[in-house]
Amino acid sequence: MIYACGLRISEAVALPVSAIDSKRMLLRVIGKRNKERALPLAEPTLAMLRAVWKIHRNGKWLFANRNGTSHLPRSTARVAFNGARTAGGFNDRFTPHTLRHSFATRLLEKGLDIHVVQILLGHASLRSTEIYTHLSEPLRCDLRQLLGDCFADLF
For residue 82, being part of any structural domain is answered with yes
Active site residue 60: no
Active site residue 3: no
Helix (H) or strand (E) holding 30: strand 26-30
Under the banding of pLDDT at 50, 70 and 90, the label for residue 138 is confident
Q: Maximum CA pair distance of the chain?
A: 70
Active site residue 32: yes
Active site residue 115: no
CATH number of the domain at 42, please. Answer: 1.10.443.10
For residue 155, being part of any structural domain is answered with no
Catalytic residue among 24, 35, 60, 97: 97
Q: Are strands 20-21 and 26-30 parallel, antiparallel or unpaired?
A: antiparallel
In this structure, what are the phi and psi dihedrals at residue 39, rounded to the nearest 5 degrees?
-105, 145
Q: How far apart are the first and last CA of the chain?
A: 49
- Fill in the amino acid letter for 155: F
Pure H helices in 57-151? 74-87, 96-109, 114-121, 126-130, 137-150
For residue 58, being part of any structural domain is answered with yes
Active site residue 78: no
Range of the domain at 108: 2-150
pLDDT in tens, 97-126: 999 999 999 998 888 999 999 999 999 999
**What's the number of domains the chain is made of?**
1
In this structure, what are the phi and psi dihedrals at residue 70, rounded to the nearest 5 degrees?
-155, 180
**CA 13 – CA 26 distance, rounded (Å):** 17
For residue 128, being part of any structural domain is answered with yes
Question: Residue 63's pLDDT is what?
Answer: 95
Helix axes 96-109, 114-121, angle to 10 degrees: 150
Catalytic residue among 54, 93, 100, 101: 100
For residue 110, being part of any structural domain is answered with yes
pLDDT in tens, 11-41: 999 999 999 999 999 999 999 989 999 999 9
3 state DSSP class of 6 = coil
For residue 122, being part of any structural domain is answered with yes
**CA 31 – CA 89 distance, rounded (Å):** 31
For residue 6, being part of any structural domain is answered with yes
Under the banding of pLDDT at 50, 70 and 90, the label for residue 78 is very high
For residue 40, being part of any structural domain is answered with yes
Active site residue 100: yes
Catalytic residue among 24, 32, 60, 144: 32
In this structure, what are the phi and psi dihedrals at residue 30, rounded to the nearest 5 degrees?
-100, 115
pTM value?
0.83
